[in-house]
Amino acid sequence: MARRETSEPPPGPRRDSLYLRLSLGPAYLTSTGDGPAGRTSLNGGGFGLAVAIGGAVARGLALAGYFRIDGAGGTWNGYANASSGITGPAAVSATSISGTGILGQFGILADFYPVATSGWHAGGSLAVSLWTIGPSDSTQSITGTSTGGSLFGGYDWRIGGKWSLGMMAVLGTMGRSSLQDNNQNDTGYSMTPLFFAFEGSVLFF
């Protein structure tokens, strides 16, 4: 009796080429610190968006330059109220208002596929980061800069050739920074933002 032979589908292309990823999805952002009137924080939901362009430096390992932005709206607790002024170092009272926060990052990331023909991957990034916060009903905002980064991981499903559709979780932050107004004056605020995003992505790799 002849032995029945089975065949398995050939593995997908190795991930060893140009790396291009665009990702987008819901995000949750929280930022805590100190302000002119004591402890301050902003927490809320929003979105995350990232673009990365680079290439393979080894089979299954890509290095890329990237830009990402995470924005959210929520309650800004510990806001120095209007009678004190957002930039007033002498503010002595606080209130809660509707606020908006945006964290932007520009840097470099590494993305690693332990099996170069599979979809599982994980990586991290280092970046120059900018944190901007302001009242939702005003164009007035304050900003601070620091170093930051993120960790991420997920799975990419091949849809043809080097193209994949994926899902991944991203956790990122930046160092505590002192915030300045549009005239580069110290506002008395010092905050550390943290975000979590769950994103869908389109990948060429």
- pLDDT of 93 reads 72
- pLDDT of 9 reads 41
Q: Is the pLDDT of residue 13 over 80?
A: no
Residues with Cβ within 8 Å of residue 107, at least 6 apart in sequence: 65, 66, 125, 126, 127, 128, 148, 149
8 A C-beta contact, residue 73 and residue 97: no
Task: List residues bridging with 64 in a β-sheet.
Answer: 54, 109
Give the model confidence (pLDDT) of 48-105 as tens digits: 999 999 999 999 999 999 999 999 999 999 998 644 444 444 445 778 999 999 999 9
- Domains in the chain with CATH codes: 18-204 (2.40.160.20)
**Token pair of 178 as six digits:** 């002192």
**Structure-model confidence comparison of residues 154 and 188, the more confident one:** 154
- pLDDT of 115 reads 93
8 A C-beta contact, residue 68 and residue 53: no
- pLDDT of 46 reads 96
Nearest to 23 by CA among 205, 184, 165: 165
8 A C-beta contact, residue 179 and residue 144: yes
Q: Is the pLDDT of residue 2 over 80?
A: no
Give the model confidence (pLDDT) of 100-152 as tens digits: 999 999 999 999 999 988 999 999 999 999 999 999 988 889 999 999 999 99
**Structure-model confidence comparison of residues 113 and 12, the more confident one:** 113
In whole angstroms, give the CA distance from residue 106 to residue 59. Answer: 25
DSSP letter for each residue of 96-122:
EEEEEEEEEEEEEEEEE-SSTTSSEEE
- pLDDT of 80 reads 83
- Say what the pTM is: 0.84
In whole angstroms, give the CA distance from residue 62 to residue 42. Answer: 35
In whole angstroms, give the CA distance from residue 102 to residue 27. Answer: 11
